Structure 1
Amino acid sequence: MTERLIVLNKDEDTISIINLETKLIEKTIETDHNPHEVIITPDGQKTYIACSLGNKINIIDNSRFEIVKRIEHPDFDFPHGLGLTKDGKKLYLASTYSEKIFIINTTTDEIEKILPTFQDKSHMISFSPDGNTVYVPNIGSNNITVIDVEKEEIINHFPVGPEPEGIAVHPNGHHLYVANQGDNTLHVIDTMTYEVLFKRRIGGCPVRLVFSPDGKYALSANRESGDISVIETQQKINGQVRPWEIKRVPVGIWAGGTVFNDDGSYAYVANNKTNDISVINMSTLKEEGRIDAGIHPDGIAYLKQSN
């Protein structure tokens, strides 16, 4: 098996395919303008890239790492967040400034449905672990839009902190974590009631949030403080069980896209302004090294393929 990172270099309009054994760039792919976010289909066959200032989706065939198709629409206006249904048959795309969610058939790669959120700056897509619900943070409206995946309908909006961007649902399905860049806080929210259960102060301008595969840790990439907040999701202390920030790991400048490998032993953080990837050992919770990338790496994905 070969492990790779797919890294989007947003200010040189390229993708770096990085071999994690050699820590070297195997291939560089030219993209449309300003690639920001990336997602790989569950079968590992295709990669979707949101090119935000180019207003296109680039589709890569992972057997040869080449762009094979582009998706465009007049209402793409800074297409950004991406998410896939559990079966991989539908791609959800958040278009930030048109404030619309596009639902795309991944067999035909055609847009099937468009859902206006009527909120300000609908930016990211986050699926619940069971695949039944999508959560969309609206940076300008300070709230979250909730989409029923089976019905393909918006069913709710609920308030959070100022300028929410980083978002993910714990693998247990019960807790939604939202990072609010406007006041540098983390909200832990009950997914049934939308009640804020905990508020935590984290690093400066948190922009991405991911869980380890086992749910033990949440990592928040903090753009302005140059570090990663490590939240232990069930810290036990004095008879209490609570989510708690246990460490901030220094990384490069402008930490952004963050991803785990498949067993959760390592996390990889794209550092926009140092043009590299931080390698975080999750056993020691320390940066173990850096991997060079292109100019301003941001979106990042992990791919494991048979040789």
Structure 2
Amino acid sequence: MTEFLIVLNKDEDTISIVNLHTKQVIKTIETDHNPHEVIVTADGKKTYVACSLGNKVDIIDNETFEIVKRLEHPDFNFPHGLGLTKDGKKLYLASTYSEKVFIINTETDEIEKVIPTYQKYSHMISFSPDGNTVYVPNIGSHNLTVIDVQTEEIINHIPVGPGPEGVAVHPNGQHLYVANQEDNTLFVMDTTTYEVLYKRKIGSVPVRLIFTPDGKYALTANRDSGDVSVILTEQKLNGQVRPWEIKRIPVGIWAGGIVLNEDGTYAYVANNKTNDLSIINLSSLKEEGRIDVGIHPDGIAYLKK
């Protein structure tokens, strides 16, 4: 088995395929305009790439690393965030400026349903760990749209902080983390009541948020401060248990996409303006090196095959 990173280079309309063993780009794929966000299917066979300014979704066969299909729709207007259902049968896509969520059948690669959010700048897709709920951060409305996966209907809009973008649910399913880029805060919310349990100041303009598989850490990529905030989700101190930022790891300029390897021992951060990836050792919480890629790397995905 070989490990790869699939890295989207926004300002040259390409994808870099990086072999993680050699830390070298083994192939460059030309894409539609402005490849922005990316996701790999659970079986590792296909990759979906949202090309935001090209208003297309490019579909890559991971056996050949070639684009085999392009999806288009009249209401694709800056297609962006991507997420897959737990069974892998459906792909959710957020279209930022049309403020819609598209549901795509991954077997036929056809659009099955379009859900208007009626919120401003619906930007990302984040599934709950049990796969039953989708959270869509609306940057301009300062809230999250909540979609029930079984009914494929909107069930709520939750107010959060200004400019939410990075959103993820802790693996325990109980806490929803929201990174608000306009005031550099992290909200930790109860997934049942949506009460804000904790507010934390983190790095400047947090744009992505992920958890390690064990839930020990939440990581945010902070664009303007060029670092990664490390939040220990259960810091024990003076008889208290709380989420706490324990470190900011300096990376390149304009930290963007962030992804983990399979076992969660390493994080990889796309540095938009230094045109490289930071390799972060999650045992030492230090940057171990860089991998050169294309111009303005952002969306990034991990693949093992």
Q: Which range, TM-score by smaller chain?
A: over 0.9
Which residue of 1 is the match for residue 140 of structure 2?
140
Letter in 2 for 1:193: T
Which residue of 2 is the match for residue 155 of structure 1?
155
Which residue of 2 is the match for residue 236 of structure 1?
236
Cα distance in 2 for residues equivalent to 1:257 and 1:212: 15
Letter in 2 for 1:293: V
Alpha-carbon offset, residue 22 of structure 1? 0.4
The reply to whether residue 248 of structure 1 matches residue 233 of structure 2 is: no
Which residue of 2 is the match for residue 177 of structure 1?
177
Letter in 2 for 1:192: T
Which residue of 1 is the match for residue 220 of structure 2?
220
CA distances 1:195-238 after superposition (whole Å, capped 9, x unpaired): 00100000000000000111100000000001000000001111
Which residue of 2 is the match for residue 209 of structure 1?
209
Which residue of 1 is the match for residue 84 of structure 2?
84
**Structure 2: 5+ residue stretches without partners:** none
Alpha-carbon offset, residue 130 of structure 1? 0.4
Alpha-carbon offset, residue 25 of structure 1? 0.3
For 1:63-142, list aligned pairs within 5 A: 63-142=63-142
Cα distance in 2 for residues equivalent to 1:15 and 1:239: 48
Alpha-carbon offset, residue 190 of structure 1? 0.5
Which residue of 1 is the match for residue 37 of structure 2?
37
Alpha-carbon offset, residue 242 of structure 1? 0.5
Alpha-carbon offset, residue 93 of structure 1? 0.2
Give the 4+ runs in structure 1 shifted more than 6 A.
none
Cα distance in 1 for residues equivalent to 2:48 and 2:133: 20
Which residue of 2 is the match for residue 269 of structure 1?
269
Cα distance in 2 for residues equivalent to 1:8 and 1:269: 12
CA distances 1:254-298 after superposition (whole Å, capped 9, x unpaired): 000000001111000000000000000000000000000100000
Aligned length: 305
Task: Please give the secondary structure, in 1, of the residue aligned with 2:194.
Answer: coil
Cα distance in 1 for residues equivalent to 2:279 and 2:125: 25
Which residue of 2 is the match for residue 58 of structure 1?
58
TM-score by length of 1: 0.99
Cα distance in 1 for residues equivalent to 2:168 and 2:39: 15
The reply to whether residue 304 of structure 1 matches residue 304 of structure 2 is: yes
Alpha-carbon offset, residue 83 of structure 1? 0.2
Cα distance in 1 for residues equivalent to 2:11 and 2:215: 33
Cα distance in 2 for residues equivalent to 1:298 and 1:231: 22
CA distances 1:49-87 after superposition (whole Å, capped 9, x unpaired): 000000000000000100000000000000000000001
- Aligned-pair identity in percent equals 81
**Structure 1: 5+ residue stretches without partners:** none
Alpha-carbon offset, residue 11 of structure 1? 0.4
Cα distance in 1 for residues equivalent to 2:257 and 2:173: 22
Alpha-carbon offset, residue 120 of structure 1? 0.2
Cα distance in 2 for residues equivalent to 1:173 and 1:60: 31
TM-score by length of 2: 1.00
Cα distance in 2 for residues equivalent to 1:148 and 1:264: 28
Letter in 2 for 1:247: K
Cα distance in 2 for residues equivalent to 1:215 and 1:258: 16
Cα distance in 1 for residues equivalent to 2:12 and 2:25: 15
Task: Please give the secondary structure, in 2, of the residue aligned with 1:38.
Answer: strand
The reply to whether residue 15 of structure 1 matches residue 15 of structure 2 is: yes
Letter in 2 for 1:258: I
Alpha-carbon offset, residue 152 of structure 1? 0.2
Alpha-carbon offset, residue 183 of structure 1? 0.2
Letter in 2 for 1:217: Y
Letter in 1 for 2:293: A
CA distances 1:80-110 after superposition (whole Å, capped 9, x unpaired): 0000000100000000000000000000000
Cα distance in 2 for residues equivalent to 1:28 and 1:87: 30
Cα distance in 1 for residues equivalent to 2:60 and 2:32: 12
Cα distance in 2 for residues equivalent to 1:44 and 1:215: 23
Cα distance in 1 for residues equivalent to 2:39 and 2:260: 13
Cα distance in 2 for residues equivalent to 1:20 and 1:115: 38
The reply to whether residue 196 of structure 1 matches residue 211 of structure 2 is: no
CA RMSD of aligned residues (A): 0.4
Cα distance in 1 for residues equivalent to 2:58 and 2:194: 35
